[in-house]
Amino acid sequence: MTEERHQALKNLGTALSHPFADLSLLDHALVHRSYVNENPACSFGDNERMEFLGDAVLELCITDLLMKTFPDYSEGQLSKLRASVVNEQPLADLARKLEIGRYLLLGKGEESSGGRSKTSILADTLEAVIAAVYLDGGFDRACEVVRGLFSLLIVEGSRNLTYRDYKTALQEYSQNRFKDIPSYALIGEYGPDHDKIFESRLSLSGILETTGRGKSKKEAEQNAAHAALDALMQNSDEQG
């Protein structure tokens, strides 16, 4: 390992908040198979086995973190939230923030085709890097790094999960009861561009209309769905 490479890997360890005792583990996590294919004399293999390990470590760390953070969530809610966090796009986005692409060892063909910015490669490499942290510092240390990387994503995911559940619940209810699904229309935008409020109208089978407001179109629709569910449940109670 060159001195330049050694220093670059130390910098990445600092960005991860994990100073590696064994930088060769991190180095290995950054070796794409295209590099090994084009350098058969390479003394170490690609990072695919580490990616496999990192995927398992990440899922367990995220599951443990979710269980502790949301003690009242059901198994279904926890599963949905975990799936929203541990998938290719957010993993790649985190890898971009860490500038992992610049540390990758790629073959010339993959390099020329933009491999350093490919979502799939970045996501897989971040999993391999998490495996390197696990192998270097153990499970608790890996979970600390995962918590630091994913905490904001988990908060955002929990908010989105709440919104999505209102729309999903209403759609399922309306399909079963009315054989129809609600439609949404944007009916207003208020306030300055930096602090805009959106208003949406929900219509269902010509028997129900509600409105909702929010900081985004999605939030406005979800609030309209929430209002519709409340109205339908109240009507059901009165008829019962």
Residue 187, C-beta contacts closer than 8 angstroms, at least 6 positions apart: 199, 200, 201, 211
Q: What is the pLDDT of residue 58?
A: 97
3-class DSSP assignment, residue 31: strand
Average predicted confidence (pLDDT) for the chain:
90
Q: What is the pLDDT of residue 161?
A: 73
Q: Which CATH architecture group holds 3-151?
A: Orthogonal Bundle (1.10)
Domain 3-151 and domain 182-239, same fold? Reply is no
Higher-confidence residue of 80 and 47: namely: 47
Of the candidate ranges 100-109, 130-139, 161-170, 181-190, the one whose mean pLDDT is the lowest:
161-170
pTM above 0.75, yes or no: no
pLDDT tens digits, 38-71: 888 777 789 999 999 999 999 999 999 999 988 8
Answer yes or no: 46 catalytic.
Answer: no
Q: Domain ranges in the chain?
A: 3-151, 182-239
Q: Contact 221/184 with Cβ under 8 angstroms?
A: yes
**Residue 236's pLDDT band (cuts 50, 70, 90):** low
What is the pLDDT averaged over residues 147-173? Answer: 81
Calculate the CA dihedral of residues 167, 171, 173, 177 and round it to 10 degrees: 150
Higher-confidence residue of 62 and 76: namely: 62
- Residue 152 is given by DSSP the state H
**Residue 76's pLDDT band (cuts 50, 70, 90):** confident
Q: Does domain 182-239 have CATH number 3.40.50.1100?
A: no
What is the pLDDT averaged over residues 182-192? Answer: 95
Q: What is the pLDDT of residue 159?
A: 72
DSSP 179-194: S---EEEEEEEES-GG
Higher-confidence residue of 93 and 239: namely: 93
Residues pairing with 203 in the sheet:
183, 209
- pLDDT for 164 beyond 80: no
CB-side neighbour CA atoms (13 Å) of 108: 2
Q: What is the pLDDT of residue 163?
A: 64
Residue whose pair of structure tokens reads 């988990």 in the numeric block = 154
Q: What is the pLDDT of residue 239?
A: 59
Determine the distance from the C-alpha atom of residue 60 to the mean position of all C-alpha atoms in its chain, rounded to a whole number. 15
What is the pLDDT averaged over residues 3-30? Answer: 95
Measured in degrees and rounded to the nearest 5, phi and psi for residue 209 equal: -135, 135
Q: Is the dihedral of CA 139, 141, 142, 146 positive or negative?
A: positive
Looking at 55, 124, 219, 221, which residue is catalytic? 55
Answer yes or no: 127 catalytic.
Answer: yes
Looking at 51, 127, 136, 219, which residue is catalytic? 127
Residue 81 is encoded by which pair of tokens?
Answer: 């939230």
What is the pLDDT averaged over residues 22-40? Answer: 92
How many whole angstroms separate alpha carbon 53 and alpha carbon 121?
Answer: 16
Residues in the chain: 240
